[in-house]
Amino acid sequence: MNATLIGSGFGDEGKGRMTDIFSAGADIVVRFQGGNNAGHTITVDGEEYALRLVPSGVVRGKTGVLGNGCVVNLETLFTELDSLRDRGLNPEIYVSKRSHVVFPYHRVLDQAEETAKDDDATAVGTTGNGIGPAYADKTSRRGIRIGELLDPETLRTRLEHVVPQKRAVAEAVFDIETGDEFDVETLFERFRTYSQRLKREDIVVDVSSFLAQREDAAIVFEGAQGTQLDLDHGIYPFVTSSNPTAGGAIVGTGVSPQTVSDGEIIGVVKAYLSRVGSGPMPTEFDEEDAADFREQAGEFGTVTGRPRRTGWLDLPLLRYATRVNGFTAITLSHLDVLAGLDELRVCDAYELDGECIDTAPTSPDEWSQCEPQYEEFETWGDHDWLALAEDGYEALPEEVRAYAEYVSNELGVPIYALGVGPGREATIIQENPLTQRRTPKRET
């Protein structure tokens, strides 16, 4: 049995924590897209692990894999590995030969492009980590793969081809005074050192074969970002440059579609909506409510520290995510954060051009014209959430259960886990497909 965990919204739904929970019964945890734009936080016994590239399952001692769909910032990767080792963990991690390298010039160009866009309000609000430019190079076939880094001659040839182009763009288009980030020799030396470390650690593999050879392993595919940030299925152009939806798990690792679809596809849902970056968000709180709520919820970006935008739970958007990903279940977290509100609403449908629609439209213009139609819910007060979590689902206040059951019914899928606080112990697990049952092997 495998499980694929997918963000249902704009990222920051708590995928790291749910991956940690579901990976208890897994052997391997695989990231299949994104890079160090992600920020996955796992809390164990009050100790926090903030991971941006290393798959969340390694905190439980599971094998971590970065698939070909990832873009890899090697400095971040090694810093994370070192820091996990300093904390007494022994992470076992493998990186796809086919994944692409994020170079310093990608970061500079990402930030330059965002600054240039600021003037006409089309800025995406990227994390500034060079993710878009790295994927753009991959798509236009001038990216450099991790596998190519291992051979010094290939690395030099590729850098000699690509760096002058990057330098020309930086200087001519963005008026940047270029330095080491655009210098072939400096880059060659630095990435040669990284490649030596990759070889020493012996962690570069063909991920597709690696996973195929472990056919009895239980795998968790750990999505980063979320459905609404998907390059194809999100609200373009306010998206990231990869496919955080379930199909990405196939393309981004080289497993067969059945490997994903025979398992569970679990949508990670937060009890309200949040996003960093630009783009429409029909259920967004007004400024004053947002400021109060943000403080209460601690909604600041893990990677950038930027205040997150917040709003009511949005069912049209969740129905869309359920369809696009084929969710077989969801998790619902941050229920404790909603305690003590004066009112509690869920957007059930949008009104667009006088029509009622119950799923997301395709363009940001349409989306920004959507008028949310709300259902009101009974609010709940604060509780000893850890004690309630220990006692299980039935111990939760009736109002919390009514809220959760409404969401589950509307989406037509069960809730496998509920979060009432950040740690493992604040998670009520209703069902964990990886620890509870294994699917029989397919007849061939």
Q: Which residues form the catalytic set?
A: 12, 40
The pairing of strands 47-51 and 40-44 is antiparallel
Q: Which is nearer to ligand IMP, 2 or 225 (CB)?
A: 225
Task: Choose which of 33, 68, 99, 127 interacts with ligand IMP (CB under 6 A).
Answer: 127
Q: Which of 43, 56, 73, 225 binds ligand IMP (CB under 6 A)?
A: 225
- For residue 116, the surrounding DSSP H or E stretch is helix 104-118
Spatial distance between the Cα atoms of 66 and 95, rounded to a whole number of angstroms: 5
Q: Is 133 in the site for ligand IMP (CB under 6 A)?
A: no
Is 229 a binding residue for ligand IMP by CB under 6 A? The answer is yes
Q: Is 372 in the site for ligand IMP (CB under 6 A)?
A: no
Q: Which two tokens stand for residue 329?
A: 């279940």
Residues 6+ apart with CB under 8 A from 75: 194
**Judged by CB, which is closer to ligand IMP: 244, or 433?**
244
Using CB under 6 A as the binding rule, whether residue 131 contacts ligand IMP is answered as: yes
Question: For residues 223 and 263, which CB has a smaller minimum distance to ligand IMP in the complex?
Answer: 223
Kind of pairing between the strands at 3-7 and 219-222: parallel
Using a 10 angstrom Cβ sphere, with 0-12 exposed, 13-18 middle and 19 or more buried, the burial of residue 323 is middle
Q: Is 51 in the site for ligand IMP (CB under 6 A)?
A: no
Binds ligand IMP by CB under 6 A, chosen from 57, 132, 247, 316 = 132
Q: How far is the CB of 129 from ligand IMP (least distance, A)?
A: 5
CB of 132 to ligand IMP, least distance (A): 4
Binding flag, residue 227, ligand IMP (CB under 6 A): no
Nearer to ligand IMP, 204 or 276 (CB): 276
Q: Is 331 in the site for ligand IMP (CB under 6 A)?
A: no
Distances in Å between the Cα of 94 and the Cα atoms of 77, 152, 227, 272 are: 11, 21, 26, 35
Q: For 271-414, list the strands marked E by DSSP.
A: 273-275, 309-311, 313-314, 329-333, 344-352, 355-357, 371-377
Q: What number of residues does the chain have?
A: 444
C-alpha span between 147 and 132 (Å, rounded): 21
Of residues 63 and 240, the one with the C-beta less far from ligand IMP:
240
Minimum gap (Å) between residue 244 Cβ and ligand IMP: 9
Tokens of 2: 């495998």
Q: What is d(CA 134, CA 385) in angstroms, rounded to the nearest whole number?
A: 42
Helix ranges (DSSP H) in 243-284: 246-251, 257-261
User: Interface mask (CB under 6 A) for ligand IMP, residues 78-117, using x and -?
Assistant: ----------------------------------------
Q: Which is nearer to ligand IMP, 67 or 132 (CB)?
A: 132
With contact defined as beta carbons under 8 Å apart, do 210 and 30 qualify? no
Contacts of ligand IMP in 242-281 (CB under 6 A): 276-277
Among 2, 3, 4, 12, binds ligand IMP (CB under 6 A): 12
**For 277, left (φ over 0), alpha (ψ -120 to 50), or beta?**
left
Under the binding rule (CB under 6 A), the answer on residue 70 touching ligand IMP is no
Residue 388 interacting with ligand IMP (CB under 6 A): no
Distances (CA, A) of 247 to 36, 160, 258: 20, 35, 11
Counts for the chain of helices (H) and strands (E), in that order: 16, 20
Q: Which helix (H) or strand (E) holds 301?
A: none
- The two three-digit tokens of residue 157, written as one number: 């040839």
Selected from 14, 16, 25, 39, the binder of ligand IMP by CB under 6 A is 39
Residue written as tokens 């063909």? Answer: 206
The footprint of ligand IMP on this chain (CB under 6 A) covers a number of residues equal to: 20
- Nearest approach in angstroms of CB 134 to ligand IMP is 9
Least CB distance to ligand IMP at residue 64 (A): 17
Is 284 among the residues that bind ligand IMP (CB under 6 A)?
no
What are the residues binding ligand IMP (CB under 6 A)?
A: 10-12, 37-39, 124-127, 129, 131-132, 224-225, 229, 240-241, 276-277
